[in-house]
Amino acid sequence: MTQEPVFEESSGNVFADLGLEDADELFTRGKIGIQVLRLLKARDLKQREISELLGISQPEVSHLMKGEFQRFSEGKLLTFLKRLDTEITLHLRPRHEGTTMNETIISL
């Protein structure tokens, strides 16, 4: 007798689905980190070159290239994007309707 597989719809954030406390932060780091990896892979740099470009040690480059984004703060990952000549725009708006806040866009 085979049992039918059970599927559960994702919230879109795997860390939240796993019940992790800092799920939003981990998800944000992951999105930023993936973009950093895409840019680095497109440049086809050696780890030594990445180390110099991003201003981090070779062991840190190794962690970054393995996708271990939890080792880096969101700010550090954003700094990597800036060093990779990426324009960063933050779009700030209320999370919930009815909250008073003017929508703001910040370019870094």
> Structure tokens of 93?
């708006």
Integer Cα distance of 84 and 49 in angstroms: 12
The angle formed by the CA atoms of residues 20, 104 and 102, to the nearest 5 degrees, is 95
User: For residue 48, which phi and psi values (nearest 5 degrees)?
Assistant: -65, -40
* 66 in any annotated domain: yes
* 1 in any annotated domain: no
Contact 60, 71 (CB under 8 A): yes
* 5 in any annotated domain: no
pLDDT tens digits for range 25-64 = 999 999 999 999 999 999 999 999 999 999 999 999 999 9
Check residue 95 and give its pLDDT.
75
CATH number of domain containing 81: 1.10.260.40
Enter the pTM of the model: 0.79
* 4 in any annotated domain: no
Count of domains forming the chain: 1
* 7 in any annotated domain: no
E strand intervals along 1-72: none
* 21 in any annotated domain: yes
Contact 70, 22 (CB under 8 A): no
Show the domain range for 31: 14-107
